Structure 1
């Protein structure tokens, strides 16, 4: 098991997940309060994801929906769905994530298992996520299987891959057996703006060091400024400008920790033309000046 240190490409795909052909599966954990600004940034990946909160409370945002999960509660996130996580409150927040390729459960291409029980989930445009609060017996059972998967990965006793595989199958069987109860609640369509959100984020990540305006961001997805703010804020829960500022601050924090560049140079590299404005915003976001933050990390 590894601590989650996400690496994204320009399309916001998480490329830090290890791609293993022989057993396409991994478990990671995120100590979310230790991440910059207390959130895991928006991303997506081909792998299916099961996340369970193991300490505190975490807000998961999937598409345009938001869910607050407490210790012991979990969420299943479908393939290629854009999502993020944020800490809730001031207490420490930790969640464990199980990421696996659907082919692990398919047996072989074209199998009846793939056709009847896997593909209908993967291709369901109205199924972004499923939450497990433990309010029913089948949800308690499914949370137990999630715990079994994580424990097997941690202990790694002889045959642990088989234990993981069997628990994943039992997890999926419960989804199939309760699909009417689950999927009937998933009436929301796959967000039509999901690709536009990805495109806006990609534009910001590529150009944050330059002078960019809201008009530039809106032009990148061929919409008006008002429409850009509307769909972006609905999905990301903040305006494009606020996201740009937060991203610039986060990138500057990396430079403060990992380089000896001057505060002025760092401010300019992340897109702030005025160093005083950068220091003011940095203090507002972190409670420290850039100099104080750098010193605290060195200590």
Structure 2
């Protein structure tokens, strides 16, 4: 079990998980308040994620929806869905995540298990996530399987991979048996265009150090400025410009911590033309001036 330390590429894909072919599975944990920004950054990955809150309360944002989960409650996040997590309240917040590639469940590509019970789930554009509060019998059983998987991975006695696999299959069986009740609730009249979001994020990450406007961002995905703001805000709960500013500040924090470059040079390197404006925004976002942040680190 490893601490959740995201490694993101330019498209916000988390590439930190060990891509082990023989057993594509791992468990991680996130202590949200110990992270540098106090939340788990927006990201996505090919792996399916099952997260259970083990301390405090956590808000998970998946696509356009937000879920607040308390200790002992869990969420299933489908493959390639954009999501993030942040703490709720003033106390410590911890959650554990089970991460696995869907090929672990398929037996072999094209099998009846794959065709009937795995691929329809992971390829569904209507299924982003399933919250598991423990309010029904199947949800209580699902939470037990999740806990069994995490505990088995922590101990790793002989045959632990089989134990994990059996519990994972039992968890998946619950999803399949409850498909009529659960998946129907997730139907969206117009599912989020996640590829468009990823393209916007990729453009910002590649060009943040330059002077870019909202028109530039909208042009990158061939939409109007109004439409760009609409779908971006609906998914990320902030405007493209706010995201750009936050990203520039985060990148400048890395430079303040890891280089001896001057404040002026850092401001220019991350796309601020005016150092006074940079200092003002930095303090507003972090509560410190760049100089104070550098000294504290």
Q: Under TM normalisation by the shorter chain, which class is it?
A: over 0.9
Q: TM-score, normalised by structure 2?
A: 0.96
- Quote the offset at 1:189 in angstroms: 4.8
Contact 2:64 2:192 in 1 (8 A): no
1:1-299 pair list within 5 angstroms: 1-189=1-189, 191-297=191-297
Runs of 4+ in 1 over 3 A off after TM superposition: none
DSSP-derived class of the 1:98 partner? strand
DSSP-derived class of the 1:184 partner? helix
DSSP-derived class of the 1:46 partner? coil
The whole-number CA distance in structure 2 between the counterparts of 1:277 and 1:152 is 52
DSSP-derived class of the 1:22 partner? coil
Q: How many residues align structurally?
A: 297
- Quote the offset at 1:2 in angstroms: 1.1
> 1:67-107: CA deviations, max 9, x gaps?
11122111111111122222223322222111101111111
Q: TM-score, normalised by structure 1?
A: 0.95
Taking only aligned residues, the RMSD between alpha carbons, in angstroms, comes to 1.4
Q: 1:33–1:146: structure 2 CA closer, same or farther, 3 Å change rule? A: same
Contact 1:252 1:267 in 2 (8 A): yes
Contact 1:133 1:139 in 2 (8 A): yes
Contact 1:63 1:191 in 2 (8 A): no
Specify every segment of 5 or more residues in structure 1 that has no aligned partner in the other structure, as ranges.
none
- Quote the offset at 1:162 in angstroms: 1.1
DSSP-derived class of the 2:37 partner? helix
- Quote the offset at 1:12 in angstroms: 2.1
The whole-number CA distance in structure 2 between the counterparts of 1:206 and 1:94 is 32
Contact 1:36 1:250 in 2 (8 A): no
Contact 2:59 2:86 in 1 (8 A): yes
Pick which of 133-142 and 88-97 moved more.
88-97
- Quote the offset at 1:208 in angstroms: 0.9
- Quote the offset at 1:159 in angstroms: 1.3
DSSP-derived class of the 2:30 partner? strand
- Quote the offset at 1:173 in angstroms: 1.1
Contact 1:3 1:28 in 2 (8 A): yes
DSSP-derived class of the 2:127 partner? coil
The whole-number CA distance in structure 2 between the counterparts of 1:73 and 1:118 is 24
Contact 1:38 1:87 in 2 (8 A): yes
DSSP-derived class of the 2:231 partner? helix
Pick which of 116-125 and 33-42 moved more.
33-42
The whole-number CA distance in structure 1 between the counterparts of 2:293 and 2:226 is 36
